[in-house]
Structure 1
Amino acid sequence: MLLVVTPATSGTLGNDSVEVVVHPSIAIRNISRNSLRAIFGMRLRAWQDGSPIRVFVLPDEAPLHHLFAKEKLNIFPYQLRSAWDRLIFSGTGQAPFLVNSEEEMRVRVATTSGAIGYLKRVNIDDGIQILHVE
């Protein structure tokens, strides 16, 4: 009976939830889901102040990448890959910067001006800020 009453801390409730993170110099604190999709789809290339957006992602097969695509973008990871491949092969754009671990994601977002990425809530520190998705 206790197991039925106790809520699970998964998804967006616990420390394992995925959050969009940005470099501390980014002035915005909230973003629409559509704008976030445009950024990670590599269609929106500059912040409101005109500075370039630097997008960082984990490998396609990373569990956190899947969670981010589904929870924050409401799309499947293969849809992101398809959009990136179209840009690359058509010569009209580039893929996001690939990082190999969550630690590398945290460091790159914290040290790269204009950076955006995603992390588990438990891995977020004062060197980066959370961007809330509306």
Structure 2
Amino acid sequence: MAFLLAEQTHAQSVDQDATILLVAHPAVATQWLNRDTTRAIFAMRQRTWPDGEAVQVFVLPNRDPVHARFTKEQLAVYPHQLQLAWDRMVFSGMGQAPNRVADQLEMREKIANTPGALGYLEREYLDENVQVISME
């Protein structure tokens, strides 16, 4: 019985550790981004892809666990720090906040249909309508 419980616990932890990948519109020419550039794009400080195309950033709500994991694991910042950066940009008139989506299904749809779009999805939500951007 203890072995069965251990197996269930392991399966649950694997689900919770599902990889979150950076994804973009299929026509985006960039294949990889480093962490600093990715962080600058999500902080809304960099508004273009390396080739000059405008970036349309999409994010999940702050309370979404996938958003929290993405910001901490991939960007190395806490969600509230990112929100603070967005608020500063908006209130100072120097920029805008990213586009919010309700869930990963909407995220995938918006990225697939918005030129220059960038966001993130768990592996299970990937399909042929979005491309994965490698982070190095």
Same fold (TM over 0.5): yes
| Counterparts of 1:70 and 1:10, CA distance in 2 | 17
SS of the residue corresponding to residue 58 of structure 2 reads strand
* Counterpart check, 1:92 vs 2:94: yes
Runs of 4+ in 1 over 3 A off after TM superposition: 1-4
Paired position in structure 1 for 2:44: 42
The normalised TM-score by structure 1 is: 0.89
RMSD: 1.8
| Counterparts of 2:54 and 2:30, CA distance in 1 | 14
| Counterparts of 1:11 and 1:24, CA distance in 2 | 27
Matching of residues 70-81 of structure 1 within 5 Å:
70-81=72-83
Report the AA paired with residue 63 of structure 1.
Answer: P
| Counterparts of 1:103 and 1:78, CA distance in 2 | 24
Report the AA paired with residue 129 of structure 1.
Answer: Q
Q: Of 54, 63, 69, which residue of structure 2 is paired with 1:52?
A: 54
- Gaps in structure 1 of 5+ consecutive residues: none
SS of the residue corresponding to residue 37 of structure 1 reads helix
Higher share in helix: 2
| Counterparts of 2:51 and 2:33, CA distance in 1 | 14
Deviation at 1:11?
6.5
Paired position in structure 2 for 1:123: 125
Structure 1 contact 21–117 (Cα < 8 Å) conserved: yes
- Rg larger in structure: 2
| Counterparts of 2:96 and 2:111, CA distance in 1 | 18
| Counterparts of 2:14 and 2:66, CA distance in 1 | 16
Structure 2 contact 30–51 (Cα < 8 Å) conserved: no
The normalised TM-score by structure 2 is: 0.88
Paired position in structure 1 for 2:14: 9
- Gaps in structure 2 of 5+ consecutive residues: none
SS of the residue corresponding to residue 119 of structure 2 reads strand
Deviation at 1:49?
2.1
Structure 1 contact 52–114 (Cα < 8 Å) conserved: yes
Matched length: 130
